[in-house]
Chains A and B, each alone.
Chain A
Amino acid sequence: MILWTMPDAGDQTKETYASFLNLFKKENPHIPVSVRVFTRNVLWRRMFTIKHPTYEEEVPDIIQIPHYWTALLVREGVAENLSQLDPGLSLSTCLAPLKNHCYKPGTKDIYSYPWWFDISALHYRADHLKLVTNTPEKDLATWDGFLKICAALREQFKDVPGYYPVQNGDWRGSLSMRSALPCVWGRGVDLLTEDLKQTSVSSKAFKEGLRDYVNLAIHNFMPILRERGSLGTMVSGKASLMLSRKLGLSTFDARRGMQVHTVPVPSTGEISAAYMSGMNLFINTRSQHKKEALAFIKFCARPEIQVHYAKLLEVFPAFEDALELFMLSSSRRLHIYGGILARARTLPNITIMGTIMEILKRILAVCATQIVEGRFTQASLDRELDLAAKEIEYLLSIYES
């Protein structure tokens, strides 16, 4: 059986999967599993070729996807109807915000199954922040306060070579739309209107929200397009803050004497929101091992396996019983993330959601290059967003009308 997945554990992904799959193999020795790791970019392109593979292309059996890709894959006809495969399959204990992303829109047929989720938060080194403020949580509650703290930290550590106030939590080392989403939502706007019929990407509030996030790079508070190995981190003392969707607690706990606190992402306006990103598994309609793939999905959904995997990856289980176990196992985790989970927001499960994110990702990639080259302007960003809005409206008219 072939599992396609993403590098969720970074450089340790293959090792992480090897240890996880050993557990599965113990219970299912007759089901060999091979893992292929693809970046999100590559996986996105492959979603449009797996329906008609050429003779030399591999046919995967089970694939990990961002949960908002489900509607697209159902429409394409590559996601197996899990409700038909197993009528007893249920989402009754799935976390409410993640349920809709498992169904074919407008039905209760399950086409993908939840695996785990992560949620955005701001981590900071308490010892560093102590040097610039007595009230870090208050100052970090708003985006303006956050930028002021960054400026103060830059001044405080100006003699430390290679220091940046904010460690870049994006694996690509660039600007990330998923990190920008809370800034956009904080301004009271979303990618689409509430009825999902129009886009707000060209609205003033959206542009301001995106600019809030991009300011981190413009003011040189966060490195972009730099060699990761050459950059400092919070652990090494060359950064003080990080916006991340990973728990990170275990990483930070590993260094004794270093206290890392976690707070919600600073709000850019009236609303405080955290981006909840779910990962689901779906079975390829072309798979010759559907029963085995279903067995793997059910294995991953068991509470003790959910908790185990969440700890491995520093993420959260997707089911209520597992999440309860997970949260209660650490009073610190419960205390920190109870409030953050209450602010959770997700992207809607519609056919074109993945495309919208690709469009915005490209815009941010262009922004990042312009910032590094010193030729970024708000006007150019606004222009790109206006064009993006037209493209999105066109897509809505074709695929969502």
Chain B
Amino acid sequence: MFDKKSYTVYKFHKQLNQAFQNKRELLESALPVLRNLFKLDRIYFFDWQQERAILSLRMMCKKEYCMDKQEDISVIGESNFLRKLLQEGLTETADLSYPAIYVLLKWQRPSMELKGGEVRTYMQDKVGVLRLERFNKKRAFSAQEKELIKALGQEISHNLRNTEIDQAKNQRLNVSTALNDLSTVFASSLRLDDGLELILQGVQKYFRFDRVRLYLTDAYARRIKSVLSVDISGQVTRQTGDEITAPEQGILKEVFDAGVTYRSTRSVIYIPLKVQRSKVGFLAFDNVLSRRQIGYLDFISLQQFASQMALSIDNARLFERVQELSNYDELTHLPVRRYFNEKFAEEMYRAKRFDLTLSLLILDIDFFKQINDNYGHVPVCARRMCLAVLAATKW
């Protein structure tokens, strides 16, 4: 015997059997179908905010279109209504002057949390409610219609789950791609300044944070030496550690001393940059302007990225140190002969290239050998001697 209900559910299933980018797209597809099927005047979709006991209206469907709507309805004091809806999945309302029923939607979505230092992924329960309305009082919902609506509601729930899973997968893929792109910057440059600006701008762009800041410590990890910051305009600004405002210094000290990831609110995160046991600085991300929460996926991905970043900063610093050692005399801190040769070659090229005049001043100081033999072993004296010679020849 022909089962109309099963056939209707099957047809509905086929119509929804496609990939939707997000919940909104799915509802924009499903609700007009429901509306036509049951000759409804309106359908509303609510999110259930359990902690506030509020139904939050998100979308309305009427005629052939859906549109965003917003309305908050408290269900405190509506225990009968709630009980029936939760137990039976469907209930009618007595508050309206026309027929209207509420249908429960329950689905799950992938979520993650940080517990005891470990990432735990789990499926989070989500609850939504549809309200179906007919303005004509004589057209109440029959028992068969209610059964069918419940079944179609379950179909929507099932598709919501699939959509949330797909959306989470896409999000992870986007994050991985973004971090992969950013990581190539580390590989391509050992010069610290070149890479850091690009990386911060990249993080701000991919993750769409309001602000991204990088605090770098001095070589002994005792204080903050410099701050690189990118805000919503995408412009990079630099500050020295001394320019950090007093209100900011308090929290930075706390974060710096603690050396652990710090999440002051769901819109602000500080992640330390550590290599083995030494700190090179920390990253701060915030959405204090937009007040958007930073999701756990972003948070965890950035933690992993921060480790890579810390290593790269440390490598770059080592490289700079090696360069410094090879170019400057340990005793006098003045450039060595090799540095002179390199620079001279550069200046010669520049002069030829731009047709400039190049002068070379060679100083032959009388009795310099004797002075050097007697006093040259004292670093301060040696350096002062050289600087005095330089000052005397300045014009």
Partner of A394, one of B208, B247, B291: B247
* With contact pairs A52-B206, A399-B289 given, residues A77 and B72 touching in the complex (Cβ less than 8 Å): no
How far is the CB of A218 from the nearest CB of chain B, in Å? Answer: 15
* With contact pairs A48-B290, A52-B205 given, residues A226 and B74 touching in the complex (Cβ less than 8 Å): yes
The answer on a CB contact under 8 Å between A229 and B96 is: yes
The answer on a CB contact under 8 Å between B70 and A358 is: no
The yes or no answer to A21 lying at the interface (CB within 8 A) is no
The answer on a CB contact under 8 Å between B60 and A48 is: no
The answer on a CB contact under 8 Å between A48 and B208 is: yes
Residues of A within 8 A of B139 (CB): none
Residues of B within 8 A of A251 (CB): none
Q: Which residue of A lies closest to B135 (CB)?
A: A229
Residues of A within 8 A of B206 (CB): 52
The yes or no answer to B9 lying at the interface (CB within 8 A) is no
Interface positions, chain B 35-62, Cβ under 8 Å from A, are: 52-54, 60, 62
The answer on a CB contact under 8 Å between A391 and B71 is: no
The yes or no answer to B292 lying at the interface (CB within 8 A) is yes
The answer on a CB contact under 8 Å between A355 and B208 is: no
The answer on a CB contact under 8 Å between A225 and B232 is: no
1/0 contact trace for A30-41 toward B, CB 8 Å? 000000011111
Partner of A48, one of B68, B72, B73, B232: B232
- The stretch from A123-131, A197-205, A368-376 touching chain B is A368-376
The yes or no answer to B390 lying at the interface (CB within 8 A) is no
Partner of B72, one of A174, A230, A398: A174
How far is the CB of B51 from the nearest CB of chain A, in Å? Answer: 9
1/0 contact trace for A202-228 toward B, CB 8 Å? 000000000000000000000011111
Q: Which residue of B lies closest to A162 (CB)?
A: B95
The yes or no answer to A44 lying at the interface (CB within 8 A) is yes
How far is the CB of B132 from the nearest CB of chain A, in Å? Answer: 13
The answer on a CB contact under 8 Å between B70 and A171 is: yes
The answer on a CB contact under 8 Å between B62 and A230 is: no
Partner of B290, one of A44, A173, A224: A44
The answer on a CB contact under 8 Å between B68 and A45 is: no
The answer on a CB contact under 8 Å between B208 and A14 is: no
How far is the CB of B74 from the nearest CB of chain A, in Å? Answer: 4
CA A326 – CA B247 in complex, angstroms? Answer: 51
The yes or no answer to A76 lying at the interface (CB within 8 A) is yes
How far is the CB of B318 from the nearest CB of chain A, in Å? Answer: 34
The answer on a CB contact under 8 Å between A355 and B72 is: no
Q: Which residue of B lies closest to A393 (CB)?
A: B247
CA A174 – CA B55 in complex, angstroms? Answer: 12
* With contact pairs A52-B208, A76-B233, A77-B233 given, residues A395 and B73 touching in the complex (Cβ less than 8 Å): no
The answer on a CB contact under 8 Å between A225 and B74 is: yes
The yes or no answer to B128 lying at the interface (CB within 8 A) is no
The yes or no answer to A42 lying at the interface (CB within 8 A) is yes
The yes or no answer to B65 lying at the interface (CB within 8 A) is yes
The yes or no answer to B110 lying at the interface (CB within 8 A) is no
1/0 contact trace for B68-88 toward A, CB 8 Å? 111111101000000000000
The yes or no answer to A152 lying at the interface (CB within 8 A) is no
The yes or no answer to B374 lying at the interface (CB within 8 A) is no
Partner of A7, one of B69, B211, B289: B69
How many residues of A sit at the interface, in one of the four size bands? 35 or more
Q: Which residue of A lies closest to B292 (CB)?
A: A45
CA A116 – CA B288 in complex, angstroms? Answer: 30
Interface positions, chain A 41-97, Cβ under 8 Å from B, are: 41-42, 44-45, 47-49, 51-52, 54, 56, 72, 75-77
CA A397 – CA B246 in complex, angstroms? Answer: 11
Interface positions, chain A 347-377, Cβ under 8 Å from B, are: 351-352, 355, 358-359, 362, 365, 368-369, 372-373
Partner of B288, one of A41, A56, A368, A395: A395
The yes or no answer to B210 lying at the interface (CB within 8 A) is yes
Residues of B within 8 A of A48 (CB): 208, 210, 232, 287, 289-290, 292
The yes or no answer to A156 lying at the interface (CB within 8 A) is no
Residues of B within 8 A of A373 (CB): 53, 76
CA A393 – CA B96 in complex, angstroms? Answer: 46
The yes or no answer to A332 lying at the interface (CB within 8 A) is no
* With contact pairs A76-B232, A369-B52, A373-B76 given, residues A11 and B62 touching in the complex (Cβ less than 8 Å): yes
How far is the CB of B259 from the nearest CB of chain A, in Å? Answer: 24
The answer on a CB contact under 8 Å between A228 and B76 is: no
How far is the CB of A225 from the nearest CB of chain B, in Å? Answer: 4
CA A75 – CA B211 in complex, angstroms? Answer: 13
Q: Which of B53, B65, B69 has the most CB of A within 10 A?
A: B69
* With contact pairs A41-B70, A228-B71 given, residues A352 and B289 touching in the complex (Cβ less than 8 Å): yes
The yes or no answer to A259 lying at the interface (CB within 8 A) is no
Q: Which residue of A lies closest to B174 (CB)?
A: A54
How far is the CB of A133 from the nearest CB of chain B, in Å? Answer: 31
The answer on a CB contact under 8 Å between A365 and B72 is: yes
21 contacts between A and B (CB under 8 A): A42-B68, A47-B290, A48-B210, A48-B289, A48-B290, A48-B292, A52-B208, A56-B21, A72-B289, A174-B72, A227-B93, A227-B96, A229-B100, A230-B96, A358-B291, A373-B53, A394-B247, A394-B288, A395-B288, A395-B289, A398-B288
